[in-house]
Amino acid sequence: MPTLEEELLRLMTEETARLHAAPDLVERVVRGSRRRRVRGRIAALSASVAVVAAPVAYLGASTTTATGGQVTISVTPEPPAIDDTPPQPSEPPSLGDLGDGMKFGHVKVGYLPERLKWSGWSVDFGDKYTTAYFYEGDDPGSYRVQIYMYEEGAVQELGDRIAAYRDEGDGEEVTVGDRGGYLVVQNVGEDGMAGTPTLFLRMGDKQWAEIMFSPTYAKEFRDAEGVSAELKKIAEGLTPNP
């Protein structure tokens, strides 16, 4: 005849498989064992059954199978929570606080047209870096004049772009003081949209500048010749800053 503990274990296994304990579980154990002396332990046994059965319910969906009197419980874990928050873009590296913006990286800006001031933003990719200038009250992140510097390995990248303009017959060779350059209007729209007047300036074997006017700013000048003349003035004022 099974002992009280063995009978209790059998019934607990059956009840746990159904994920709940019947209200008369312990009473049936006592009646089956015919041992009256255990009635004083009913309260403690009821608490033990509740502790065994409860954790199973938190594990997720379960299935119960019975083979030859043996009960097997298969528990499927809850799937992990999925974080569907899109990754946030990181801010590009900057040149920091440039003060009045007349010096940045390895270049000094000797001339800017009237009313222009440093925009407060810049981007620094090491051998390529840039900053811009706008009017007081312009939208943050906008520009009227932008200067992009190319140094070391990045010079070849710029050379390829200029070569492509030459091959296509866009733009013209220019001389700024004793330095060579190339003048072109970039990004002209097929629908006649105004492009970006640009002057590429060779400042050394491993240093080139790209000076750009926004299409909006270019409209403030009387004609294309006026834009070109102002671009050349900015280019003349650019000098290396070791």
pLDDT of residue 57: 38
pLDDT of residue 59: 41
- In sequence order, which residues have a C-beta less than 8 Å from that of residue 40 and are 6 or more positions away? none
pLDDT of residue 70: 56
Cβ 103 vs Cβ 118: under 8 Å = no
Query: Which of 61-70, 84-93, 104-113, 133-142 is predicted with the least confidence, judged by mean pLDDT?
Result: 61-70
The percentage of residues in the chain with a pLDDT greater than 70, rounded to a whole number, is 61
CA 45 to CA 122: how far, in whole Å?
73
pLDDT of residue 24: 53
pLDDT of residue 29: 44
Q: What is the pLDDT of residues 18-34, one digit of tens each?
A: 544 445 544 554 455 44
Q: What is the pLDDT of residues 121-140, one digit of tens each?
A: 999 999 999 999 999 999 99
> Mean pLDDT, the chain, as a whole number?
78
CA 73 to CA 162: how far, in whole Å?
73
pLDDT-derived band at 200 (thresholds 50, 70, 90) equals very high
pLDDT-derived band at 92 (thresholds 50, 70, 90) equals confident
pLDDT of residue 242: 83
pLDDT of residue 48: 42
pLDDT of residue 91: 79
pTM of the model: 0.63
